[in-house]
Amino acid sequence: MSSEIAMTKSRAGLLAVTLFVGVVIGLVLMGRLSPQTGSAAPAPQAKPAAISPTGAVLPNLSGVAERALLATVNMPSTQYRQVDPFFQMFSRRGAVMPETSLGSGVIVSEDGLILTNHHVLQNAAAEIKVTLPDGRELAGKVVGTDVLSDLGVVKVAATGLATLPWGDSSKLRVAEWVLAVGSPLSLSQTVTLGIVSNVKRHVEELGGINDMIQTDAAINPGNSGGPLVNSRGEIVGINTMIVTETGGYQGLGFAIPANAAQQIMNELIKNHEVSHGSIGLTDDLVNVDPARAQRAGLGPIRGVLVRNMYRDSSAYRAGMQLDDIVLSVDGKEITDAGQLQRLIIGSKIGSTVTIEVLRNGRRTTLKVPIEKLLPGR
């Protein structure tokens, strides 16, 4: 009996071994095991989806562009200039010649207020035609303009117009996506895409009031006055100018920041003009850098040399003298004439600023009242 049981166990063991070997061979043939290691071979994996180097997805700005176009107008203006008497004898148009300026504007109120550039309007007497996005052409009336900021406001007789929200231009970041909207070269309803190239660029050609947004979104003649819009559909700037060697787009466009534009716009709507600060210095200012100061024996200072001022000015009454070097205004170090002008122009009329000057090798502090900038100064 025991021998039968032993024989049965032996046969069962042999059968088990045979089955195991068969399973192993089958798995090897099916590629489930690695003949080299005897471990499970890794299953094929799908390729990962391609992503941008930053991990960000490029935005679809179609909806933003559509809303921006509904709030942007084409706005040529024409003014008539007196022809030089010498040329009147050769002119068949008489003594007055029309000059037309191309431009754009952005609707800022549902009842027809439009913000644009001063240089688009040219002056309050210009003949302005506003073409709305729906094709209607309306006469525009100048509410007010400001030469220093290069901004102006126009009113048309219309209601229910589309507008865009304002963005906070102080939160703009370099490489942020923006759209420039307007009518370049009279091609109305044009949208161009780019990025913010610089958030605080000063352009001397514009004057002494604004730090500008630089963008590589294509801006050409006729874009002036149109909105610069961010990816959220907010106005972050007013397209104003280009720097170019050819007269056309070279990737150097500039826009007035929305925060500054809003402030000027509100004052134009309320008072029809903008009051800027002044202490009576002329434009005859000279930048003093450390190298120049060292050569003059003044030490490594930086500032602005005063070459001229008006005798009826607050600076003169406060004791400022010719050849004073302005070092700081209210504790802010002065690095160039443009910065000095911007600080003074932006100061509240009636306030007093503390100006530190270097005179004959000694530092002197002056308390100078801010007065209203007079026309022609």
pLDDT in tens, 317-349: 999 999 999 999 999 999 999 899 999 999 999
Q: Assess whether 367 and 288 both reside in one domain.
A: yes
* Domains in the chain, number: 3
Out of 45-54, 71-80, 260-269, 308-317, pick the least confident: 45-54
The answer to the question of residue 253 being in a domain is: yes
pLDDT band of 48, cuts 50, 70, 90:
very low
**What is residue 125's predicted lDDT score, i.e. its pLDDT?**
82
The answer to the question of residue 204 being in a domain is: yes
The answer to the question of residue 179 being in a domain is: yes
Please state, in angstroms and rounded to a whole number, the distance separating the CA atoms of residues 94 and 92: 6
User: Token pair of 85, please?
Assistant: 């008497």
Residue 250 sits in a domain of what CATH number?
2.40.10.10
The answer to the question of residue 335 being in a domain is: yes
Residue 320 sits in a domain of what CATH number?
2.30.42.10
pLDDT exceeds 90 at position 87: no
pLDDT exceeds 90 at position 164: yes
Q: Assess whether 128 and 200 both reside in one domain.
A: no
Query: Which is more confident, 375 or 308?
Result: 308
Q: Assess whether 218 and 266 both reside in one domain.
A: yes
Please state, in angstroms and rounded to a whole number, the distance separating the CA atoms of residues 275 and 209: 12
The answer to the question of residue 10 being in a domain is: no
pLDDT exceeds 70 at position 212: yes
Q: Assess whether 263 and 304 both reside in one domain.
A: no
Question: How high is the mean pLDDT of the chain?
Answer: 85
User: Looking at 127, 155, 183, which one is the last position of a domain?
Assistant: 155
Q: State the residue range of the domain holding 236.
A: 169-271
The answer to the question of residue 198 being in a domain is: yes
Q: Assess whether 181 and 259 both reside in one domain.
A: yes
Q: Assess whether 233 and 257 both reside in one domain.
A: yes
User: Token pair of 10, please?
Assistant: 């032996």
Please state, in angstroms and rounded to a whole number, the distance separating the CA atoms of residues 134 and 71: 10
Q: Assess whether 263 and 283 both reside in one domain.
A: no
pLDDT band of 206, cuts 50, 70, 90:
low
* Closest among 198, 200, 201, 231 to 215, alpha carbons compared: 198
The answer to the question of residue 330 being in a domain is: yes
Q: Assess whether 95 and 119 both reside in one domain.
A: yes
pLDDT band of 209, cuts 50, 70, 90:
confident
- Tens of pLDDT, residues 273-288: 999 999 999 989 999 9
Query: Which is more confident, 96 or 48?
Result: 96
Q: Assess whether 282 and 261 both reside in one domain.
A: no
The CB-side HSE value for 184 (13 A sphere, CA atoms) comes to: 18
The answer to the question of residue 87 being in a domain is: yes
Q: Assess whether 260 and 314 both reside in one domain.
A: no
Q: What is the pTM of this model?
A: 0.79
Would you mind telling me the total number of residues written for the chain in this entry?
377
**What is residue 257's predicted lDDT score, i.e. its pLDDT?**
97
Please state, in angstroms and rounded to a whole number, the distance separating the CA atoms of residues 364 and 376: 30
Active-site residue set = 119, 150, 224
Q: Assess whether 228 and 309 both reside in one domain.
A: no
User: Looking at 234, 252, 271, which one is the last position of a domain?
Assistant: 271
CB-based contacts of 110, cutoff 8 Å, min separation 6: 159, 160, 161, 162, 163
User: Looking at 221, 246, 271, which one is the last position of a domain?
Assistant: 271
Q: Assess whether 220 and 138 both reside in one domain.
A: no
